[in-house]
Amino acid sequence: MLKYFKNIQIQGTNLEIFRFAFCVSFPIATMIWVGVDTHEKLNIPNFRPDPARLNQIPKDPLEIRAEVERMRAERLERRKRLEEKAKRLNIVPPSEQKETENEQEEISNVAGAVVTATAAAPSS
């Protein structure tokens, strides 16, 4: 392709005229291209959801209380379900794991105290 334009040299005034024409015509051509049948080019059917399907925010106190109770019940149900699953898989929750570690430390401390007490006691 360059071999066809190899001998063409645009310099000086002709270059400035070309640049001016390009700078003026490019935005106009872009606006025409975008502006023609924009509805067909950029339209996405069912882009906005139907208002009847949207989540409705509770506004009065009774609706707010009912929604909070529903969320609490859902959270408790999820917690029970996860606890049952953890029991089936023999997974110890982190809180119980810390408790068992603390109990083991106490047992070892008591055992250590008993050993030191028996070692320190005079034998008769």
Q: Tell me the domain boundaries of the chain.
A: 15-42
pLDDT attached to residue 117: 54
pLDDT attached to residue 2: 62
- Three-state SS letters, the chain: CCCCCCCCCCCCHHHHHHHHHHHHHHHHHHHHHHHCCHHHHHCCCCCCCCHHHCCCCCCCHHHHHHHHHHHHHHHHHHHHHHHHHHHHCCCCCHHHHHHHHHHHHHHHHHHHHHHHHHHHCCCC
Residue type, 22: F
Q: Check: CB of residue 58 under 8 Å from CB of residue 64.
A: yes
pLDDT attached to residue 15: 87
**Tens digit of pLDDT at every position of the chain (124 positions):** 567 767 777 788 888 998 999 999 999 999 888 877 777 777 788 888 888 888 888 899 999 999 999 999 999 999 999 999 998 998 876 776 666 777 777 777 766 655 555 655 565 5
